[in-house]
Amino acid sequence: STEFDPTLEGSLPPDFHWGFATAAAQIEGAWNRDGRGPSIWDTFCHSGGNIKDNTTVDDACMSYDLIEEDVARMKSYGINAYRFSLSWSRIIPLGGKDDPVNEAGIAYYSKLVDRLLENGITPFLTLYHWDLPESLYRRYGGMLNKARYTLDFMRYARVCFESFGDRVKYWITYNEPVLSARAGYAEGRHAPGHTSATEVWIVGHTEIVSHARVCAMYKQEFQPTQKGHIMITLSGDWCEPWDQDDPLDLEATKRAMDFDIGWFADPLYGKGECDYPASMRAQLGDRLPCFTAEEQRLIRGSSEFYGMNSYTSHFIKHRDGPPEENDAKGNIVRMDTNKDGKERGTESDTPWLRTAPWGWAKLLRWIWDRYQLPIYITENGTTAKGELGWRPNSNDDILEDPHRIDYYKSYVAEVAKASQEGIVIKSYLAWSLLDNFEWALGYTARFGVTWVDFEDPKRTRYTKRSALFLGEIFRHLIAQKR
C-alpha cells in the first residue's frame, strides 16, 4: 500500500495532468538518420573530453526506434500526460528560415503525437530543450545573434504549429533558459562550452525576446483556431540563508533567487516595469542588455502559465569579495547545511540534488504570491544510489527504488497541500520516463522510473517500482469527474 495521507484524497482537480517528461537529445538517438542534421550537443559529445563517461547522444535510449514500446509503457504506468521535446535539427536539418523542412522528422513526431492521443495521453511539446542546430551556431553564433536567431526560431516554431498544432494543445517555448545559458556560455559545462563573462547575458536576452515573439505569433495566427496554450518552463529551487542572522547571507539568498528565477520570471510575470531584477543590474552593470519598449510589451504576459522545474533546495552563504568574472549565480556559495548544522535533505546519487520538500512547500507559495498565475510543474525527480550497478536477472524484474518513492511521495504531498490551500497547480510531470543521457554526466545519473540497459544494443527497459507508485498516488489524489 502507498500509505498516503488520507486527508489529501481528492485534493487535485479532475483535469489534473500527471505523467513524465523527457527531451529529444537525451533519449532519441538516431542522431544522423532519416535526414537529421547535427545539433551543438552532437558536436559537444563528439569533440571529446566534455562528458563524464565519454559517451555521446548518438544512440541514447533509441527512443526514435521504440515509439510503440514506449507509449505502451506509458499507458501501463497509467499517465495522462507526456512532455517531450522536438529536435529542431530533425525537423529543419540546417535550422534556418530558408532551409528545407525534413518530412521524415515531421512524420516521426506526428506519429508519436497520434499514438499518445490514441492512448488518452495529452502531449506537452517543448520546442527548445538545449539542442540548437549546429549549422546556426556555425553560421552566425546561434543565440549570440538575436536578430538572425529570432527569425530562424520563429520559422521553426511556425513549422511545428502548422504540423502538430491541430492535435497539440500545450506548447513550451524554452526549457530552463537559465540553465542552458549559464552552463553553456558562462560555465562551459554544456554545449557549446563557452566560459564568457558577457555571452551568457546576451544569450539569455535572446531567449526571452525570441520566446515572446513566438508567443505573439502563436496567439495571433494559431490560437484562434487551434485553441492551445503556450508557456515557458523555468528552473529554480528554494534558497534559505546559511546564517539567518547575517544580513549578508540574507541578501545573498535574495540574490541567488533573483539570478536563478527572477532573471526570467521578473520580466515575464513581475508587477513593476518589465526588467531584470535590480540586484542583477547592480552586479552586472552594462553586461546586462536592456529591453526596448516594444520588447517589454511583448514579453509581459507572453507566457500564459508558470512552467516550473524544481528538484531540491539550498542553503546560501555570501561570498567575501567581488564576484568571479563569469559568475552567473549572484556571488554566492551553495551549502548542504545551515549554520546550525541542519541538513538540506537526504543525499541522492547526484551532489547538487537532495530530497528537500520543505523548500518546495515554500517555493510554490512564493511563486503563487509573487507572480500570481497557474503553475504547471513540468519537471521534478531524483537519482537514487545503487542504480548504476543494478543488473536485471530476468525480463520481468522490477527494480526496487525506495529512495525515489520517498522523494516523490514527499514532493507530491506538497503539491496536494498547496492545492488544498487554493494555489492553482495544473500538472505534475516527473523527470523522467527513462534513464537517459544526463548532459555533462553522460549515462552516470539515472533519473528514470524505467531502468535502461545502455550496454544492451536493444536498450531493453525495466520498470522501477516508483513508476507504479506514482500512478497509485495520483489515483488517490485526483478527484473523480462528477
Nearer to ligand PNW, 388 or 398 (CB): 388
Shortest CB 309 distance to ligand PNW, Å: 6
Nearest Cα neighbor of 307 from 215, 383, 239 is 215
The single-letter DSSP state of residue 343 is B
**Chain positions contacting ligand PNW, by CB under 6 A:** 23, 175-176, 179, 235, 309, 352, 379, 431, 438, 447
Q: Which residues of 245-277 are buried (b: 16+ CB within 10 A; e: fewer)?
A: eeeebbbbbbbbbbbbbbbbbbbbbbeeebbbb
Nearer to ligand PNW, 19 or 165 (CB): 19
- Determine the residue with CB nearest ligand PNW: 352
The single-letter DSSP state of residue 274 is S
Shortest CB 317 distance to ligand PNW, Å: 17
Nearer to ligand PNW, 235 or 355 (CB): 235
Shortest CB 260 distance to ligand PNW, Å: 9
Nearer to ligand PNW, 57 or 159 (CB): 57
Nearer to ligand PNW, 4 or 88 (CB): 88
Contact 355, 348 (CB under 8 A): yes
The single-letter DSSP state of residue 131 is -
Nearer to ligand PNW, 108 or 439 (CB): 439
Distances (CA, A) of 87 to 79, 93, 107, 157, 410: 23, 9, 13, 12, 33
- In three-state secondary structure terms, 279 is helix
Shortest CB 209 distance to ligand PNW, Å: 21
Shortest CB 57 distance to ligand PNW, Å: 12
Element (H, E) at 265: helix 263-269
Nearer to ligand PNW, 22 or 283 (CB): 22
Q: How far apart are the first and last CA of the chain?
A: 26
Shortest CB 45 distance to ligand PNW, Å: 15
Shortest CB 451 distance to ligand PNW, Å: 16
Cα 456–chain centre separation: 28
Shortest CB 352 distance to ligand PNW, Å: 4
Query: CB within 8 A of 72, min separation 6: which ones?
Result: none
Nearer to ligand PNW, 176 or 387 (CB): 176
C-alpha cell of residue 312: 531540491
Q: Which of the following is catalytic: 28, 134, 176, 240?
A: 176
Contact 208, 299 (CB under 8 A): yes
What is the residue whose three cell numbers read 545539433? 39
Cα 128–chain centre separation: 10
Q: How far apart are CA 316 and CA 240, in angstroms?
A: 6
Per DSSP (E only), the strands in 238-397 are 238-241, 306-309, 313-318, 332-335, 346-347, 354-355, 375-379
What is the residue whose three cell numbers read 525527480? 381
Q: Catalytic: 379?
A: yes
Q: How far apart are CA 137 and CA 145, in angstroms?
A: 9
Helix H segments across 354-401? 357-371
Nearer to ligand PNW, 235 or 283 (CB): 235
Strands 461-463 and 17-21: unpaired
Q: Catalytic: 207?
A: no
Q: Which of the following is catalytic: 28, 379, 387, 438?
A: 379
* Nearest-10 crossing angle of helices 402-420, 465-477: 20
Shortest CB 425 distance to ligand PNW, Å: 19
Our CA dihedral for 102, 105, 106, 108, rounded to 10 degrees, sits at: 160
**Residues noted as catalytic:** 176, 379
